[in-house]
């Protein structure tokens, strides 16, 4: 499909630990279309962050991508040299993290860090000290515009601040504007709002929506929070224990969830409009991924478990246009 920007096909990423092989991502497939926000949701440890790190090429020892394809603009990223991947990572695919301090340099002002990226990506100048003064001034003006784009309060003043002088929400804005300096086609946002309070969280989500709508950037949004998914995503993939169990348009997923795990997740959200006797929860706990359950990995926790569920892993099948489910209840054999 021509509107697909990135396609992940049957990705397996394992970690080789002393305790055994952790099958963190075990046969994940999905695609991200141009100009959409695709959400990946699931509990901690389900493999969503490992999927993101696999896409951007930041899986370190003892981890390894064992098999699969990550096709970006028609090229399988896993077949490129480290040098070619680094170019794509710096320029076309960017990532923002939960804790912006990991990406910001504490000894440089926000302005210097954005100007440095603009000089590198627009002029090919790697060292800010080597750039002519006028060029630096020009890039600084541009950096202020970029801070305005991410709704940074008082950007003319903030540009000369050091990261530690800013609040968590302002640091997150600074990191997003740095990412924008490289004009990425795809932004991966891993729990970008988890560490922020609710008001700031809403502001950062609005910035992500702006980036999609005004700049046409595709976004892969990783979160454990279904309310974040409902707020901004166009489509969503639900992950459980290293597998994708359901993919649908966000509206369809909330309106008509089909996989028993998705149903359980949605029932566990407190409602302000309905009075519930008791909040529902999914019984049992997330499995150990060194020794994952056979067949469907959700079977020990599923109320609909059938004999086949223990034996065969269900395939992701399209049950309605654009709505995919991996469950034997829907013929996923």
Does 238 help bind ligand SF4 (rule: CB under 6 A)?
A: no
Looking only at residues 103 through 122 of this chain, which bind ligand SF4 when binding is defined by CB under 6 A?
none
State in angstroms the smallest separation of the CB of 259 from ligand SF4. Answer: 6
Contact 309, 329 (CB under 8 A): no
* Residue 324 interacts with ligand SF4 (CB under 6 A): yes or no: no
298 lies in the binding site for ligand SF4 (CB under 6 A): yes
Residue 328 binds to ligand SF4 (criterion: CB under 6 A): yes
Q: What is the DSSP letter of 33?
A: E
282 vs 302, which CB is nearer to ligand SF4?
Answer: 302
Q: How many residues does the chain have?
A: 333
For ligand SF4, which is the closer residue by CB, 168 or 300?
Answer: 300
Comparing CB distances to ligand SF4, the nearer of 80 and 319 is 319
Phi, psi of 32 (to 5 degrees): -120, 125
CB 39 → ligand SF4: shortest distance, Å? 20
Q: 144: how many CB neighbours lie within 10 A of its CB?
A: 18
Number of Cβ within a 10 Å radius of residue 28: 25
Total binding residues toward ligand SF4, as defined by CB under 6 A = 13
List the one residue from 21, 71, 263, 329 that touches ligand SF4 (CB under 6 A).
329
Instruction: List alpha helices for the chain, DSSP H.
Output: 48-56, 82-91, 110-118, 133-149, 155-158, 168-181, 198-215, 226-232, 250-255, 260-267, 307-311
Query: Smallest distance, Å, CB 308 to ligand SF4?
Result: 7
Q: Does residue 264 bind ligand SF4 (CB under 6 A)?
A: no
- For ligand SF4, the closer CB: 106 or 307: 307
Answer yes or no whether residue 314 interacts with ligand SF4 by CB under 6 A. Answer: yes
Q: Residue 79 contacts by C-beta under 8 Å, 6 or more apart in sequence?
A: none
DSSP state of 119: I
- Chain centroid, CA 265 distance in Å: 19
Among 178, 211, 296, 316, binds ligand SF4 (CB under 6 A): 296
Q: Which stretch binds ligand SF4 (CB under 6 A): 102-110, 118-126, 182-190, 295-303?
A: 295-303
299 binding ligand SF4? (CB under 6 A): yes
Longest dimension (CA), the chain: 72
- Decide whether 205 or 247 has the Cβ nearer to ligand SF4: 247
Is 309 among the residues that bind ligand SF4 (CB under 6 A)?
yes
- Select from 36, 10, 16 the least CA-distant residue to 187: 36
The residue (of 215 and 319) whose beta carbon lies closer to ligand SF4 is 319
Do 225 and 305 touch, CB atoms closer than 8 A?
Answer: no
Task: Name residues whose C-beta falls within 8 Å of residue 117's C-beta, 6 or more positions apart in sequence.
Answer: 178, 181, 182
The residues that touch ligand SF4, with contacts defined as CB under 6 A, are 260, 296, 298-299, 302, 304-306, 309, 314, 327-329
């Amino acid at each position: 499909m021509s509107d697909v920007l990135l396609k992940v096909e049957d990705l397996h990423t394992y970690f080789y630990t002393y305790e055994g092989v952790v099958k963190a991502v075990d046969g994940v497939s999905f695609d991200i279309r141009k100009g959409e926000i695709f959400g990946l949701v699931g509990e901690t440890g389900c493999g969503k962050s490992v999927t993101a790190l696999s896409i951007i090429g930041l899986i370190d020892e003892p981890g390894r991508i064992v098999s699969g394809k990550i096709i970006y603009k028609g090229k399988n990223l896993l077949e490129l040299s480290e040098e070619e991947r680094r170019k794509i990572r710096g320029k076309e695919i960017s990532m923002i993290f939960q804790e912006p301090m990991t990406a910001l340099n504490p000894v440089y002002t926000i302005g210097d860090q954005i100007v440095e990226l603009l000089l590198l990506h627009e002029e090919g100048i790697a060292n800010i000290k080597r750039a002519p003064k006028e060029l630096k001034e020009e890039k600084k003006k541009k950096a202020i515009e970029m801070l305005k784009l991410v709704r940074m309060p008082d950007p003319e003043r903030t540009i000369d601040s050091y990261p530690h002088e800013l609040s968590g929400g302002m640091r997150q804005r600074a990191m997003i504007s740095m990412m924008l300096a490289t004009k990425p086609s795809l932004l991966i946002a891993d729990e970008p709002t988890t560490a922020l309070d609710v008001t700031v969280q809403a502001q950062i989500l609005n910035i992500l929506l702006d980036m999609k709508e005004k700049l046409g950037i595709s976004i892969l949004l990783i979160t454990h929070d279904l309310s974040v998914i409902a707020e901004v995503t166009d489509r969503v993939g639900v992950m459980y224990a290293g597998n994708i169990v359901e993919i649908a348009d966000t509206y369809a997923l909330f309106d008509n969830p089909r996989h028993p795990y998705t149903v359980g997740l949605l029932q566990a959200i407190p409602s302000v409009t309905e009075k519930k006797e008791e909040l529902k929860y999914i019984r049992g706990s997330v499995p150990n991924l060194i020794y994952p359950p056979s067949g469907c990995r959700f079977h020990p926790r599923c109320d609909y478990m059938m004999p086949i569920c223990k034996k065969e892993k269900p395939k992701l099948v399209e049950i309605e246009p654009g709505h995919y489910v991996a469950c034997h209840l829907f013929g996923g054999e």
